């Protein structure tokens, strides 16, 4: 009888310990995900060169996103979010640019290429994370900061002005640089084994304009954007 009681006690303690371990493991949920982001540049100069969507040419900004992170106790999370933004545009609207060597000229891009690599760290908060009866249980607010690599190349036909169109030749300009970027976001995410996510965000990308070349990154004060993202999330 004594041995039976000891065996029952050991089983109960083992079950309790397993329950505690399982509970602790659920407090930290790791995940990875991929997504597709629609990007709308808010500055007129930047958006004119790289439109949200251009029906005649089929050009639009495309961004593939990644995410690797952890949700802590269902109420907070930390995430590394790299992404790849790219576009190729043809026959865009012209613009004036004043060169320190040849003066003011009118440039009409015939081939423009832009790509960027934002590398951000983000913090997420789930205000209703513990409220399992709320439909906002998976909703979050987020803030992020990081570096962003930007590369731009533009081939333009050069004219004296936009009236007489006195052709002066063709020029190719290119530049690449690292820049800070910041973002705020609200979203909805499911962290089951295979989940989903939707996010609306605003990204701040101030530009210094210190490179004297006929490029949009030399003319536009920023590459700020409103973004809509759809994600697929894998938890493990």
Decide if 218 contacts 175 (C-beta within 8 A).
Answer: yes
Confidence of residue 26 (pLDDT cuts 50, 70, 90): low
Over 70: is that where the pLDDT of 15 sits? no
pLDDT of residue 21 exceeding 50, the answer is no
- Supply 54's token pair: 């251009």
- Does 57 or 159 have the greater pLDDT score? 159
The span from the CA of 142 to the CA of 32, in Å, is 17
Residue pair 202/183 in contact (Cβ under 8 Å)? The answer is yes
Strand pairing category for 76-89 and 62-72: antiparallel
Contacts by 7-10, CB closer than 8 A, 24 or more apart? none
| pLDDT tens profile 48-97 | 888 887 655 556 788 999 999 999 988 999 999 999 999 887 777 889 99
Q: Picking from 24-28, 158-162, 187-191, which range would have the lowest pLDDT averaged per residue?
A: 24-28
What is the spatial distance between Cα 231 and Cα 211, in angstroms, rounded to a whole number? 36
Q: Kindly list the domain boundaries of the chain, sorted by start residue.
A: 28-235
What integer pLDDT is reported at residue 217 of this predicted model? 93
Burial of 233 (0-12, 13-18, 19+ CB in 10 A): buried
Q: Is the pLDDT of residue 205 over 90?
A: yes
Rounded CA separation 7/53 (Å): 70
Q: What is the pTM of this model?
A: 0.83
Please determine, for residue 222, whether its predicted confidence score (pLDDT) is greater than 50: yes
How is residue 108 written in tokens?
């009409």
% the chain with pLDDT above 70: 86
Averaged pLDDT, 1-15? 43
Sign of CA dihedral 46, 48, 54, 58: negative
- Give me the half-sphere count of Cα atoms (radius 13 Å) on the Cβ side of residue 15: 6
| CB-based contact 33:20 (threshold 8 Å) | no
Burial class of residue 107 in the structure, from the number of CB atoms within 10 Å of its CB (0-12 exposed, 13-18 middle, 19+ buried): buried
Return the CATH number of 28-235, one of 2.40.160.20, 3.60.15.10, 3.40.980.10, 3.30.479.10: 2.40.160.20
Average pLDDT over residues 154-179: 92
Q: Is the per-residue pLDDT at 192 higher than 80? A: no
Cβ(178)–Cβ(149) below 8 Å: yes
């Amino acid at each position: 009888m004594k041995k039976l009681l000891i065996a029952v006690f050991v089983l109960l303690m083992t079950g309790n310990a397993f329950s505690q371990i399982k509970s602790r493991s659920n407090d930290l949920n790791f995940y990875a995900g991929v997504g597709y982001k629609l990007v709308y540049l808010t500055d007129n100069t930047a958006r004119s060169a790289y439109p949200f969507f251009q029906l005649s040419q089929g050009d639009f900004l495309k961004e593939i996103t990644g995410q690797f992170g952890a949700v802590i106790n269902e109420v907070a999370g930390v995430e590394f979010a790299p992404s790849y933004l790219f576009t190729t545009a043809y026959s865009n609207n012209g613009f004036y640019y004043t060169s320190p060597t040849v003066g003011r000229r009118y440039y009409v891009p015939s081939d423009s290429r832009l790509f960027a690599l934002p590398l951000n760290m983000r913090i997420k908060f789930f205000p209703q994370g513990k409220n399992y009866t709320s439909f906002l249980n998976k909703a979050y607010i987020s803030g992020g900061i990081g570096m962003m690599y930007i590369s731009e190349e533009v081939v333009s036909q050069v004219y004296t002005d936009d009236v007489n169109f006195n052709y002066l030749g063709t020029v190719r300009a290119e530049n690449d640089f690292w820049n800070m970027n910041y973002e705020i976001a609200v979203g909805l995410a499911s962290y089951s084994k295979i989940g989903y996510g939707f996010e609306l965000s605003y990204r701040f990308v101030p530009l210094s304009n210190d490179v004297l070349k006929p490029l949009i990154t030399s003319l536009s004060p920023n590459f700020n954007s409103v973004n809509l993202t759809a994600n697929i999330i894998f938890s493990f």
